[in-house]
Chains A and B, each alone.
Chain A
């Protein structure tokens, strides 16, 4: 406790703000927009967690008990594990997709409303699939630039709107794609995808990425984009969703998570190494 405490205090001094300083800087107590009791509760929990090292309550217990399948069957899940690990492999930097809990993250996401595209516009008519595919091929020659735009680099292709015209929902697209991966592995290598060698798995994934594989109802490259982005989401979203276990994704990326403030660090030239905070701790 003492060791941990001093460790965290060091972080707090270096990178965070004292509670008093924080309140002074925001001017919250002096008549901010947030009610006093609510604010008091929030700030107390934000700073106490730092001081009390609540981070240790974490993952070995509660989150391991969440590692069970809600949506995929066992075989689909094995393919998913292998595919995500190839996209985001374990290396000297740290864990890969499996170690970060990415497959369970994707399973949970698909089991929820995201899996059925509940927020999306789903009214007919949908394009016939071959119309979507033709547009895809026409546009795939225009490789997208790499702008930041409003939302990061994953958003920008000429086919943006067209690639979301499939009548399949995300659950169906995943099952469709993963089962095709397994089938191809059987055909080419006489073994299941998860048992195939790394090189064999990569070869199949590349054929999805480039659209050489033909799926029904969705272009293989669009399934691949979905799989890739979902893998990154699982690696880097808050651990509350079941991925980014132990905040290892953030640690590799030197992302400090839900920090209350960088007021004292924002102008400095030196790179700031800051211990990450998850929402479990931030919200208290």
Chain B
């Protein structure tokens, strides 16, 4: 029997960037907020002196351990989904701060094209350009409307950046200057400039200098020690929720974060959410936390699963394309949308072991709709980047094709080429299809007996054609950079989604839009069908742009927080009126 607790103004699932930003904004305004985090309590000091590749990158110290909960995955509706059993295939954040603590710190804004992708595609190429089955939708918000929230997020996180020469309008420059450059970055910038492209530094949450944000929190200067990805920062020099928004929220005295609290249901009466049901995993005690506002700010799988488990919204039906919860699952996948070309240099050594998670350079010449797609057999585009994240020795043993993967020749060549190779890769947009979706698994359950979320996903010619084009560009750039041997990743005709979820970039399931028939939430991340329930995060992305998602998640969270405040002041109601909008399904 669940124990009922005292009501609060707002209860939030998750303490990552989305949950953290909303907690900070609401508590600063005086609302009392409870956060429920399934993972354990962590502070910055837990990550001091932990440059340990085995523990963090190979034994997945900071990832959700799958013994409690995982997802299942399959390629089509006729197949039986299999559970993802090891963290080798599932890097999902957990613990205080969520994925926002172990991220690399890459910060991009999505493009104006992304937010109006359906309208702009039809306008430029006509309706027939959108293939049958591609469920492309506008987001119900424009870049210009979201810009001020991007700006707020960047100032909160202290982002270090260089102006993108062909980027969209900005109301202000980045709060801190770009990071240092490296020989590899200089080579990439010189080569791509000579090819007529427009390189710039990747905007970074590893800060170029110490910075105090508008909330009064200090983020330190990056030491380029190369332990960002899958690690917490040794020096408090990578923006994360622990050292920024959660700290801000706690300072107000209005925020309580409860760890090891696994949320199992959104309580509701059919019209309004009344609170969250959760289990304290230390004691097994079940609690009901009532609240005026309920916010789902977990990872996309958590948000979508909670809606399905709680029977909120119309479940998506992939056969008819109707319903919304579970719709438009997209993402970046390690054998399709994250590919490129590797160059081996016989006479040049790079300090590949140095770096920072977001240290690198990129070009936007092929991003979104920046190239003319009239004669191309795909939509959307890709960002081409060189990242000097820092190669660690267990994970990086790159050898030229034809080299055995073990034995004398492997050892010799893997040692020789450790610092004699560079990789240029493309991060491609991922567009939604009627057949790619999320629902509940009929067989497998979590440690509390609740059904796991099931992913059904397969690649299309759109993905293959886009990736092939992108990889060819990477190859040309790598050749221009002077590598002696250039090997591009192959995209075969029958390459298929490998049920590996290692990029951390996934979207959809509770998508935003203008039309309650085709979207779950409006542009304040407010559920159309339950106006005091807000579902915040990449779960609201109707498609995945060709960039890392965090900054867009952050911007949407700031907008959601503003909407929640307005909602509480107004005493309820939808913040946006839904319209029937044009879309092709």
Q: Is the interface of B mostly helix, strand, loop or mixed?
A: loop
User: Which of A42, A87, A151, A240 is the most central at the interface, judged by chain B CB atoms within 10 Å of its CB?
Assistant: A151
Total interface residues on A, using CB and 8 Å?
88
Q: A27-B209, A87-B407 are in contact. Are A283 and B394 (CB under 8 A)?
A: no
* A201–chain B nearest beta-carbon distance, Å: 10
Interface residues of B in 398-432 (CB under 8 A from A): 398, 401, 405-408, 411-412, 415, 418-419, 423, 425
Q: Which of B70, B91, B407 contacts A202 (CB 8 A)?
A: B407
B499 located at the interface, meaning its Cβ lies under 8 Å from any Cβ of chain A in the complex: yes
A36 located at the interface, meaning its Cβ lies under 8 Å from any Cβ of chain B in the complex: no
Task: Give the nearest-CB partner of B395 in chain A.
Answer: A152
Q: Which of B58, B225, B334 contacts A156 (CB 8 A)?
A: B334
B54 located at the interface, meaning its Cβ lies under 8 Å from any Cβ of chain A in the complex: yes
Task: Give the nearest-CB partner of B74 in chain A.
Answer: A161
Contact A263 B502 (CB under 8 A): no
Of B60-68, B271-279, B294-302, B322-330, which binds chain A? B60-68
Q: Is the interface of A mostly helix, strand, loop or mixed?
A: loop
* B350–chain A nearest beta-carbon distance, Å: 8
A233 located at the interface, meaning its Cβ lies under 8 Å from any Cβ of chain B in the complex: yes
Task: Give the nearest-CB partner of B487 in chain A.
Answer: A146
Contact B351 A237 (CB under 8 A): no
Interface residues of A in 89-117 (CB under 8 A from B): 89, 91, 93, 96, 114, 117
* B56–chain A nearest beta-carbon distance, Å: 11
Kindly supply a per-residue 1/0 record for chain B positions 44-86, scoring 1 wherever the CB is within 8 Å of any chain A CB and 0 otherwise: 1100110111100111100001110010010000000011111
Kindly supply a per-residue 1/0 record for chain B positions 80-104, scoring 1 wherever the CB is within 8 Å of any chain A CB and 0 otherwise: 0011111111010000000000000
Kindly supply a per-residue 1/0 record for chain A positions 16-57, scoring 1 wherever the CB is within 8 Å of any chain B CB and 0 otherwise: 000000100111101111110010001000000000000000
Of B140-148, B215-223, B371-379, B560-568, which binds chain A? B215-223
Task: Give the nearest-CB partner of A161 in chain B.
Answer: B499
Contact B423 A161 (CB under 8 A): no
* B97–chain A nearest beta-carbon distance, Å: 13
Kindly supply a per-residue 1/0 record for chain A positions 140-176, scoring 1 wherever the CB is within 8 Å of any chain B CB and 0 otherwise: 0010111111111111111111101100000000000
Contact A258 B354 (CB under 8 A): no
Task: Give the nearest-CB partner of A125 in chain B.
Answer: B443
A256 located at the interface, meaning its Cβ lies under 8 Å from any Cβ of chain B in the complex: yes
Kindly supply a per-residue 1/0 record for chain A positions 218-257, scoring 1 wherever the CB is within 8 Å of any chain B CB and 0 otherwise: 0000000000100111001110110000000110111111
B241 located at the interface, meaning its Cβ lies under 8 Å from any Cβ of chain A in the complex: no
A262 located at the interface, meaning its Cβ lies under 8 Å from any Cβ of chain B in the complex: yes
A122 located at the interface, meaning its Cβ lies under 8 Å from any Cβ of chain B in the complex: yes
Q: Which of B82, B230, B237, B392 contacts A127 (CB 8 A)?
A: B82
A279 CA to B353 CA, complexed, in Å:
16
* B352–chain A nearest beta-carbon distance, Å: 9
Contact B182 A267 (CB under 8 A): yes
B370 located at the interface, meaning its Cβ lies under 8 Å from any Cβ of chain A in the complex: no
A267 CA to B222 CA, complexed, in Å:
14
Question: Which chain B residues lie closer than 8 Å to A144 at the CB level?
Answer: 335
User: Which of A22, A159, A202, A263 is the most central at the interface, judged by chain B CB atoms within 10 Å of its CB?
Assistant: A263
Contact A119 B335 (CB under 8 A): no
Of B195-203, B477-485, B488-496, which binds chain A? B488-496
**Listed A/B pairs (14) with beta-carbon separation below 8 Å:** A32-B236, A33-B44, A33-B218, A34-B235, A42-B49, A88-B411, A119-B86, A145-B489, A150-B338, A151-B57, A151-B334, A152-B57, A155-B334, A250-B393
The 6 closest A-B pairs by CB, nearest first: A152-B395, A27-B210, A33-B236, A161-B499, A149-B334, A237-B54
Residues of A within 8 A of B (CB): 22, 25-28, 30-35, 38, 42, 86-89, 91, 93, 96, 114, 117-123, 125, 127, 142, 144-162, 164-165, 202, 205, 209, 228, 231-233, 236-238, 240-241, 249-250, 252-263, 265-269, 271-272, 279, 282-283
Q: Please give 18 more A-B residue pairs, beta carbons under 8 A apart, in addition to A30-B210, A32-B210.
A: A26-B210, A31-B212, A96-B411, A145-B339, A150-B91, A151-B57, A156-B498, A157-B498, A165-B85, A209-B406, A238-B52, A238-B53, A253-B393, A258-B49, A262-B226, A266-B351, A268-B351, A282-B49
Residues of B within 8 A of A (CB): 44-45, 48-49, 51-54, 57-60, 65-67, 70, 73, 82-89, 91, 180-183, 209-210, 212, 217-226, 229-230, 234-237, 243, 334-335, 338-340, 342, 349-351, 353-355, 359, 392-398, 401, 405-408, 411-412, 415, 418-419, 423, 425, 443-445, 487, 489-492, 494-496, 498-500, 502-504
